Amino acid sequence: MKVKLTKIFRFEASHRLDHLPEGHPCRHMHGHSYQVIVEISGQVNPDTGFLMDYGDMKDIVKPIIDELDHKHLNDVEGLNITSAVYLARWIWEHIKPQMPLLSRITICETGSTSCEYEGE
């Protein structure tokens, strides 16, 4: 049986989008209450009844989220542009090696905006 599982993580952080033109509101420092939705997909293991244990997902993702929580994203190594798009890719690159079933990262900056990243 093929399924998709999701687990939601949250963190608070500030950032600036320095590459945007003067006058753009996102060029100034501001913050978000981010929601990160991690999705995996694949075949359920008939012996366990799981695709992956949610606890194992948390063990892989939470240290990455902790690196971002209450931080200024412009100071995070390797995150050169701090938009939701690049943040999704940065998180993907940090968890994909440990989570081969990763199929999507969704970053929600606000209640009405989000970015979905499914790898290259």
**pLDDT tens digits for range 42-92:** 999 999 999 999 999 999 999 999 999 999 999 999 999 999 999 999 999
> Whole-angstrom Cα distance, residue 14 to residue 67?
13
Catalytic residue numbers read: 26, 70, 109
CATH 1.20.120.1200: does it fit domain 2-117?
A: no
pLDDT of residue 120: 87
What mean pLDDT is reported for the chain?
96
CA–CA dist 70, 15 (Å, integer): 11
> What would the mean pLDDT of 93-117 be, rounded to a whole number?
97
Residue 96's pLDDT band (boundaries 50, 70, 90)?
very high
| Strand-strand pairing, 102-110 and 2-15 | unpaired
Q: Flag whether pLDDT at 26 surpasses 90.
A: no
Residue 73, sorted as left (phi over 0), alpha (psi -120 to 50) or beta, turns out to be alpha
SS3 77: coil
CA dist 18 and 74 (Å) reads 9
Q: What is the pTM of this model?
A: 0.94
What's the rounded mean pLDDT across residues 91-118?
A: 97
Q: What share of the chain is helix, strand, coil (3-state, %, to 5)?
A: 30, 40, 30
Question: What does the domain layout of the chain look like in residue ranges?
Answer: 2-117
| Whether residue 34 has pLDDT greater than 90 | yes
